[in-house]
């Protein structure tokens, strides 16, 4: 029988009303057999996600402090949902066991995973679907790297026997059974793994927006929905901060050719965004713009190095990069001139190592100057349509020039799928809005082959 794997995010399961919507969506299509829930998320802006409360409990426990207040709030949230849905589910015993483990020094990953675990139990109770603990089917090695074939085997073994199931997202287990989580937002990855294991016809990822939008709705509130997007484009966008889908959720289904459909739990009739392979993405059913999406992130810095005749010095770049490698620092971009080179990297990657890095670079290549510039943001304009359209870069920079925004760096990948721009952090939001307006609201300067 055909099956669809459906993953519901935290806001889709934040309270009893949301649970009702989720059930209605699942019951509307019998193919929606395998369900992956996140932990309850925010009910309103300013609310706290269960996952964050669990991290707090673990931090307090590790410091030997009392965490019963926070744990009590977690219990109340699950109980409130269960009561409103008239379920007998009571998380008290499970939470007592969790509290005991926390006092004994349980890890951050263990604590965080319990949000999904408990929500999985609650949802399985509500839907009447069997519960499959992700610790039994999602496998990691001792370094926390996902073991794909072991996971596929374990999932197929268990899910093959079940007509339908609830499998909590975000976590799995290491070789000795210890709980390991993906990075934040990782329930998307679990959904993708389940979809691949059961060879689903589609992976539906239900969230709180009607698809992937051309720009972050927190910056462009009325941003248009992207109808179809390729795996590559979405990976670029999610890597650069379009948090709608975890960047690592793409690989498992992509390898199996399973499309992803991003849908809105609060607007189930909207078709959402379909994520497909490049050759099946029909550009005519696109939104009709040259670009597919805009995303970006703050929190970068640049190591600016200057040295007269740098271009003639053999091995200059290699020596500089060797310093970063030696210090375990990865970088994002490396724009260069004749006598200058810059390395753009995340502030987080170099935090606490700035002085050592600079002194090692000085020793390695004796530059005329070498300094770190902080407060940089990176913005990516992504689109498969850019390959066959002239003038895209001109339009981007015209939009920025009109807004008097200074561009610090430009990088276009060889695939011509994206153009990355470095900007001051203070210019970031305005730059996103200006580029959005240039491509979505106007057609000035468009020149397709």
| Residue 213 binding result from ligand ASP, Mg ion, ligand ADP, none, given CB thresholds of 5 to 8 Å by partner type | ligand ADP
Q: Which does 238 bind (CB under 5 to 8 A by kind): Mg ion, ligand ADP, ligand ASP, none?
A: none
Q: Minimum CB separation from ligand ADP for residue 25, in Å? A: 13
Opening angle at CA 401, ends 395 and 404, nearest 5: 155
Q: From the list ligand ASP, Mg ion, ligand ADP, none, which binds 37 (C-beta under 5 to 8 Å, kind-based)?
A: none
Query: Of the listed pieces 158-166, 180-188, 249-257, 275-283, which binds Mg ion according to CB under 5 A?
Result: 180-188
List Cα–Cα distances, 216 to 107, 147, 213, 277, 283, in angstroms. 33, 33, 7, 23, 22
| Closer CB to ligand ADP, 156 or 433, in the complex | 433
Identify which range of 123-131, 134-142, 239-247, 411-419 contacts ligand ADP by CB under 6 A: 239-247
Interface residues with ligand ASP (CB under 6 A) are 9-10, 38-39, 49, 51, 115, 169-170, 184-188
Q: How far apart are CA 171 and CA 423, in angstroms?
A: 36
Instruction: Give yes or no for a contact between 112 and 64, defined as CB atoms under 8 angstroms apart.
Output: no
The residues near 256 (Cβ < 8 Å, ≥ 6 apart) are 195, 196, 199
Which option in ligand ADP, ligand ASP, Mg ion, none does residue 169 bind, with CB closer than 5 to 8 A by kind?
A: ligand ASP
Cβ(67)–Cβ(60) under 8 Å? yes
Name the binder of 167 from Mg ion, ligand ASP, ligand ADP, none, CB < 5-8 A by kind: none
Q: How far apart are CA 216 and CA 188, in angstroms?
A: 18
DSSP letter for 386, please.
G
CB atoms near residue 280 (< 10 Å)? 11
Task: Report the distance separating Cα 449 and Cα 389, nearest Å.
Answer: 6
Which of the residues 205 through 234 are near ligand ADP (CB under 6 A)?
A: 207-209, 212-213, 215-218
**Alpha carbon distance 286, 38 (integer Å):** 30
Residues in binding contact with ligand ADP, number by CB under 6 A:
20
Of the ranges 4-12, 51-59, 148-156, 395-403, which one interacts with ligand ADP (CB under 6 A)? Answer: 4-12
Return the bridge partners of 447, or none.
390
Closer to ligand ASP by CB, 188 or 427: give it: 188
Residue 88 CB, nearest approach to ligand ADP (Å): 27
Residue at shortest CB range from ligand ASP: 187
Please choose, out of 3-11, 138-146, 359-367, 417-425, the segment that lies near ligand ADP by the rule CB under 6 A: 3-11
CB atoms within 10 A of CB 227: 18
Angle between helices 108-127 and 92-103 (to 10 degrees): 170
- What residues from 63 to 102 belong to the interface with ligand ADP (CB under 6 A)? none
Task: Look up residue 132 and give its two tokens.
Answer: 């499959």
Q: Between the CA of residue 198 and those of 33, 193, 345, 413, what are the distances in Å?
A: 10, 9, 39, 35
Mention every residue, 6+ apart, whose C-beta is less than 8 A from residue 124: 130, 131, 165, 166
Other C-beta atoms within 10 Å of 178: how many? 15
Which does residue 186 touch among ligand ADP, ligand ASP, Mg ion, none (CB within 5 to 8 A, set by kind)? ligand ASP
Instruction: Compare residues 188 and 204 and give the one whose CB is closer to ligand ASP.
Output: 188
Nearer to ligand ADP, 245 or 361 (CB): 245
Piece of 9-17, 24-32, 153-161, 332-340 that binds Mg ion (CB under 5 A) = 9-17
The residue within the footprint of Mg ion, chosen from 185, 186, 241, 259 (CB under 5 A), is: 185
Residue 45 vs residues 75, 147, 275: alpha-carbon distances, Å = 21, 36, 29
Q: How far is the CB of 311 from ligand ASP (least distance, A)?
A: 46
- Does residue 260 touch ligand ADP according to CB under 6 A? no
**Footprint of Mg ion on this chain (CB under 5 A)?**
9, 185
Q: Footprint of ligand ADP on this chain (CB under 6 A)?
A: 9-12, 38, 41, 185, 207-209, 212-213, 215-218, 242-244, 293
């Amino acid at each position: 029988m055909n099956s669809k794997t459906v993953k519901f995010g935290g806001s889709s399961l934040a309270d009893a009303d949301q649970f009702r919507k989720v059930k209605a969506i699942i019951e509307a299509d019998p193919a929606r057999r395998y369900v992956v829930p996140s932990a309850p998320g925010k009910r309103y802006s300013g609310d706290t996600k269960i996952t964050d409360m669990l991290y707090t409990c673990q931090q307090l426990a590790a410091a030997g402090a009392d965490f019963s207040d926070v744990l009590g709030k977690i219990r109340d949230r699950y109980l409130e949902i269960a009561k409103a849905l008239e379920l007998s589910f009571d998380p008290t015993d499970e939470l007592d066991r969790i509290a005991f483990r926390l006092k004994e020094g349980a890890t951050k990953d263990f604590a965080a995973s319990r949000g999904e675990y408990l929500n999985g139990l609650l949802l399985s109770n509500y839907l009447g679907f069997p519960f499959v603990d992700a610790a039994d089917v999602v496998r990691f090695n001792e370094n926390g790297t996902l073991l794909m074939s072991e996971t596929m085997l374990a999932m197929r073994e268990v899910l093959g026997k079940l007509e339908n199931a609830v499998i909590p997202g975000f976590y799995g287990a290491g070789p000795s059974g210890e709980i390991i989580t993906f990075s934040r937002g990782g329930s998307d990855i679990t959904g993708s793994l389940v979809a691949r294991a059961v060879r689903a016809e589609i992976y539906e990822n239900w969230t709180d927006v009607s698809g992937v939008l051309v720009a972050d709705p927190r910056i462009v509130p009325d941003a248009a929905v992207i109808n179809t997007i390729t795996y590559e484009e979405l990976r670029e966008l999610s890597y650069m901060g379009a948090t709608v889908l975890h960047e690592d959720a793409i690989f498992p289904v992509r390898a199996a050719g399973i499309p992803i459909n991003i849908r809105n739990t609060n607007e189930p009739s909207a078709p959402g965004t379909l994520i497909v392979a490049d050759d099946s993405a029909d550009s005519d059913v696109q939104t009709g713009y040259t670009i597919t999406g805009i995303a970006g992130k703050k929190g970068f810095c640049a190591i600016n190095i200057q040295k007269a005749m740098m271009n003639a010095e053999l091995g200059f770049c290699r020596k500089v990069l060797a310093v970063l490698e030696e210090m375990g620092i990865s970088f994002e971009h490396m724009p260069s001139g004749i006598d200058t080179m810059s390395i753009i990297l995340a502030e987080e990657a170099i935090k606490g190592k700035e002085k050592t890095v600079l002194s090692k670079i000085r020793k390695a290549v004796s530059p005329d100057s070498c300094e770190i510039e902080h407060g940089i943001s990176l913005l990516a304009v992504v689109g498969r349509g850019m390959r066959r359209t002239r003038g895209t870069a001109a339009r981007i920079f015209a939009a920025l020039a009109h807004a008097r925004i200074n561009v610090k760096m430009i990088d276009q990948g060889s695939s011509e799928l994206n153009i990355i721009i470095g900007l001051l952090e203070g210019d970031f939001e305005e730059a996103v809005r200006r580029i959005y307006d240039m491509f979505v609201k106007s057609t000035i300067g468009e020149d397709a082959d």
